[in-house]
Structure 1
Amino acid sequence: MTDYRSRYERWLASDAVDEATKAELRAIAEDEKEIEDRFYKDLEFGTGGLRGILDAGTNRMNVYTVRRATQGLANYLLMKDPQAKEKGVAIAYDSRHQSDVFALETAAVFNGNGIKAYVFESLRPTPELSFAVRTLGCKGGIVITASHNPSKYNGYKAYWEDGCQVPPPMDEEIIQEVEKVDLFDGVRVMPRREAEEAGLFVSIGEELDGQYIDVVKSQLLDPEMVRAHAADLTVVYTPLHGTGNRLVRRALAECGFTNVHVVPEQEEPDGDFPTVPYPNPEDVRAFGPAIALGEQVGADILIATDPDADRVGIMVKTDTGYQHFTGNMTGVLLSSYILEARKKTGHLPADGFLVKTIVTTEMIRALTDAYGVELKEVLTGFKYIGQQILEAEKAGRGTYLFGFEESFGYLSGTYARDKDAVSASLLICEMAAVYKAKNQTLLDALHELYETYGYYRETLVSFTFEGIEGIAKMNSLMDELRKHPQASYGGLKVLECKDYADGLDGLPPSNVLRFTLENNSWFCARPSGTEPKIKFYFGVKGESQAGAEAAVKRLQDDVTKTIK
């Protein structure tokens, strides 16, 4: 009998497993492949937490795997800080299926270990969780979300006391604690009523919302211009059935953006995400209903936030319709706007710095060089950007100005330590209103930057590998790239190959390869930390828009052909 079979049968035999779960498992009794996939391993508590398909099984998201992860994290908190019980943790959740259930289960385990839990009364954006951890002085935090994944997924992100997702080596230490916990016998829980009576379960919400919105509004760079021109900007907004609706609209309204139209069929939270194939603003298909509404009301800009409202995407009105901006395009625009606004008002500090990830556009380097500010580069994952803020604070030097990653994540300010689509939506609208007052669109502003710094183009291709065989294929593919790289790709000579597996450039070890090519071009291979796929990132610089687009396509096609 294989190990996955013994695990399956243990679930069926255990008194700790509820009858509904057992019925679900009995229904797959004749599907050996399904049993194998659900039980061949434990759902890994990775560097950011859990993420998986919603089902019964050790390799799935369910109340049992959530409890086990929480028990391991509780053990770690208590081991690290005797005051963790009183400091407590903050817990938030999004609109996905069972998010509210998992949030309460998480609180029950923390409470069972004597740790106070501050639980949001209803769904909230991920960045507000980061803010709450810092504001309440918690030892850590949890948000139940699978971000922009399809509806069959849910997840569990773990945060530390600075409001940042747990960094290395702490993440590995937590993983070790989780692995020590027996799924059924090693978990302590406390019923909610008992926890409330003991002062261990505390409901939070409206007061934190007000404090959070106040700091979001404080990120405005030109309040006078906003007051004068906010109402002139026509905005279509969609929360994509997620958590952003109430707070994005509140932030915009309180800053004078009154001409905001919300996509009605995507306004209400819905874990099925029925109007989109993929609830991700990186995917232009998610904007379908927003485009229709935008054309109807003559919107200048369309804005979409992902289900947990930490990522934001935009489309901008042009003479031929609406153009979808990549995360790199929006990030460069925001960086330029922030730097120029600070320079004009005399608030560009000599020790100012921006942060980008190693797979984010190189155009930002030309921009920071022009303004004389430092650019710091980190691994993929916003926690590494948050870590740079913390290190600057500890060192007592360095002023954080802005950080972003190509995957539509942006943060202005240090009130939170994760990407914030609420704040970014407000800054994008400020920027759009200021440019509109000059009779310019954001596309006009972007082309001015291209003319100044060069025509940069980036793209991303993903290869998905499901199941046990998929893991082997991903490992084999990365090994092949490591051991047998080509001399050139897309007609561009390889100048350098960086392997971050053992740590490089002062960064933690990571399974990432980055190829630097001639003509300011590059590509990067990185297995996803949250999905069964390898992502390939490509970047080029051209003499013209058409030249850059042709060059990035040649590079992408050549690497893709090699992989296939």
Structure 2
Amino acid sequence: MSFQERYQMWLKNSYFDEEIREELKQLNDQQEIEDRFYKDLEFGTGGLRGIMAAGTNRMNKYVIRKVTQGLAEYICDHGPEGMKRGVVIAYDSRWFSADFALEAALILAQNGVKAYLFDELRPTPELSFAVRELKTIAGIVVTASHNPKAYNGYKVYWEDGGQVPPAQADEILARIEARESWLGIEPMSKEAAKREGLLQMIGSEIDHVYLSRVKELALHPELDAQQGKELSIVYTPFHGAGNKLVRSALAELGFSSVTVVKEQEQPDPNFTTIPYPNPEIPSTFDLAREYGKNVEAELLLATDPDSDRLGVVLRAPNGDYRQLSGNQIGVLLTYYVLSQKKNLGILPEKAAIIKTIASTDLADEVARYFKVAVENVLTGFKFIAEKEKEMEDGGWGKFQFGFEESYGYLAGDFVRDKDGIIASILLAEAALYYRNTEHRSLFEVLESIYQMFGYYLDSQESLTLEGHQGQEEMVRIMDSLRQEEIRELCGIQIVKIDDYEQQIGKNLVTGQSYSLTLPRSNVLRFSFSGGGFVMVRPSGTEPKIKFYFSVKADSQSVAEESLRMVKDDVMNRIALIRSK
């Protein structure tokens, strides 16, 4: 069926509600119509994400219906036990999140699959926990995480609490694609679903159990209880789902001096006070900085709308506030967790951390210092969770901490996704411990790590390339980088090129090739002599191609200059490719 035929079906068939059809009537741009209908919104290993609007390549209740129908059919294939175990569903503060979550629950119910639906917005990591706690066969969270306000998404989790693995995702996708028609997928009524025991609302009872497990991760709970009130913290949930649980976790441990940014406390799908609900962006902390100055806070914390990411800003000795990168937070927490467990005598044999190939190699050096193994996985926290499960099932490793450079962190074994609540309590405790016990700030701890292992500095750039043409341009960029064997960038020698799409690496010094064991992925990674790398990958969730830069030097000033030069060299090369 052509995109025009799809458009006409949605425009004219009474299955689609009047609001959707009216929206489509207003379209007069053929390129916009093509972009909305030339394909289905892609269902990948984590689910789907897109702009909210009418169309097969957009997020709307009809896309939710079709995808959930495919999931329901896959669960029904597991028989009555799987259907009875059911699916737990959470959602964030975005437009239509609650509506999409209920729609999914009622489609499941119509197929005889039980749905547990949270009574109000909840963080993504709590959804992961709830899958494990309720022993459901799957989970759904309606969120677009840190994307702009125009987006929403639908992530699927499997029975271990991790994002649905590739094999199961392929099975679900096969059932979605087997249904060519968009028509005739109808939800059960809410009243009937409740009456038949196929819809159960859940809430605070899950919160209490989850928070009790989070608090168990504190390494110095007595210090927290006795002196936590001395640490002044400003927290903002960015109008999202983290507000109640982050504050509760901190307060119950003893961190009672927490000031919330009032303007960003309540859910707001327009994210009115911030340009983009992503704590990686410095300007999102503008209000928190003002609050910090007023209360002389030492620590500013921010979670994104579904509270799986944590951003951190620290007060410097001169009173200014400086934002940490995701890698700096990850290294600080890795160092804190491993060093304190070693000091307390609770660092187990076969201890391991897990990080992504896009994250700083400084964490590898820290782990080796404590004789802890490192597992590097593809970008995406689902791969960290999968590796943790492999360790657990195989008994060959004891997971201690995991992180990715995009502000995602995890400790413990009861959540299988990045967790902004867990990261918040560990970061607060680390700041308190070093200040009150070792009389050092987190800046001073980070500086000591650099002095031990070298100054690793990192940065990122992204090119937004939207629509069909954008996808073609991404392909051209990646093809060109593969064809040109780049041996140096601004004078810094490249010693290895790893192509995860071809699953082949090459040592440029010896000329030898080797196999890469990670799953196939459209990623190129160029490793520098002496440490650091450049990595390029198209995003799996946004219309962007991402560039990761990491350099190592003996001093901060040299590292800063090297980082600037490497970025300029790479981005000039990309501009040249695009101009051809």
Do the structures match in fold with TM over 0.5? yes
Matches within 5 A, 1:160-559: 160-185=158-183, 187-318=185-316, 319-437=318-436, 438-503=438-503, 505-559=516-570
Give secondary structure in 1 for the equivalent of 2:428. helix
Matched residue type, 1:549: E
Cα deviation for residue 174 of structure 1 reads: 2.1
Give secondary structure in 1 for the equivalent of 2:166. coil
Structure 2: how far apart are the matches of 1:31 and 1:390?
Answer: 48
Aligned to 1:125: 123
Give secondary structure in 1 for the equivalent of 2:293. helix
Give secondary structure in 2 for the equivalent of 1:299. coil
Cα deviation for residue 46 of structure 1 reads: 1.6
Structure 2: how far apart are the matches of 1:38 and 1:141?
Answer: 28
Matched residue type, 2:309: R
Per-residue CA shift, 1:218-259, capped at 9, x if unaligned?
110111221222011000000000000011000011111110
Per-residue CA shift, 1:479-538, capped at 9, x if unaligned?
111111322112212212111114453211111111112221211111100001110111
Cα deviation for residue 549 of structure 1 reads: 1.2
Aligned to 1:22: 21
TM-score by length of 1: 0.98
Aligned to 2:41: 43
What fraction of aligned residue pairs are identical, expressed as a percent?
A: 47
Per-residue CA shift, 1:76-121, capped at 9, x if unaligned?
2222455211010000000000000000000011111110000000
C-alpha contact (below 8 Å) 1:501/1:510 kept by paired residues: yes
Cα deviation for residue 167 of structure 1 reads: 1.7
Matched residue type, 1:543: D
Q: Size of the alignment, in residue pairs?
A: 562
C-alpha contact (below 8 Å) 1:16/1:184 kept by paired residues: no
Structure 1 residues 51-60 or 381-390, which shifts more?
381-390
Structure 1 residues 261-270 or 11-20, which shifts more?
11-20
Structure 2: how far apart are the matches of 1:380 and 1:374?
Answer: 19
Structure 1 residues 87-96 or 427-436, which shifts more?
427-436
Alignment RMSD (CA, Å): 1.2
Aligned to 2:572: 561
Give secondary structure in 2 for the equivalent of 1:159. strand
Structure 1: how far apart are the matches of 2:165 and 2:462?
Answer: 25
C-alpha contact (below 8 Å) 2:456/2:532 kept by paired residues: no
User: What stretches of structure 1 of length at least 5 have no aligned partner?
Assistant: none
User: What stretches of structure 2 of length at least 5 have no aligned partner?
Assistant: 504-514, 576-580
Describe the shift of the 1:296–1:22 C-alpha distance in structure 2 as closer, same or farther (beyond 3 A): same
Matched residue type, 2:10: W
Cα deviation for residue 320 of structure 1 reads: 4.7
Structure 2: how far apart are the matches of 1:476 and 1:86?
Answer: 48
Aligned to 2:6: 7
Cα deviation for residue 177 of structure 1 reads: 2.0
Structure 2: how far apart are the matches of 1:47 and 1:482?
Answer: 25
Structure 1 residues 388-397 or 458-467, which shifts more?
388-397
Structure 1: how far apart are the matches of 2:79 and 2:315?
Answer: 52
Cα deviation for residue 72 of structure 1 reads: 1.1
Structure 2: how far apart are the matches of 1:180 and 1:189?
Answer: 19
Matched residue type, 2:458: E
Structure 2: how far apart are the matches of 1:372 and 1:236?
Answer: 35
TM-score by length of 2: 0.95
Structure 1 residues 263-272 or 164-173, which shifts more?
164-173
Matched residue type, 1:513: L
Aligned to 1:86: 84
Aligned to 2:111: 113
C-alpha contact (below 8 Å) 2:15/2:184 kept by paired residues: no
Matched residue type, 1:241: H
Structure 2: how far apart are the matches of 1:505 and 1:499?
Answer: 8
Matched residue type, 1:506: T
Matched residue type, 1:532: P
Cα deviation for residue 192 of structure 1 reads: 1.2
C-alpha contact (below 8 Å) 1:56/1:62 kept by paired residues: yes
Structure 1 residues 165-174 or 195-204, which shifts more?
165-174
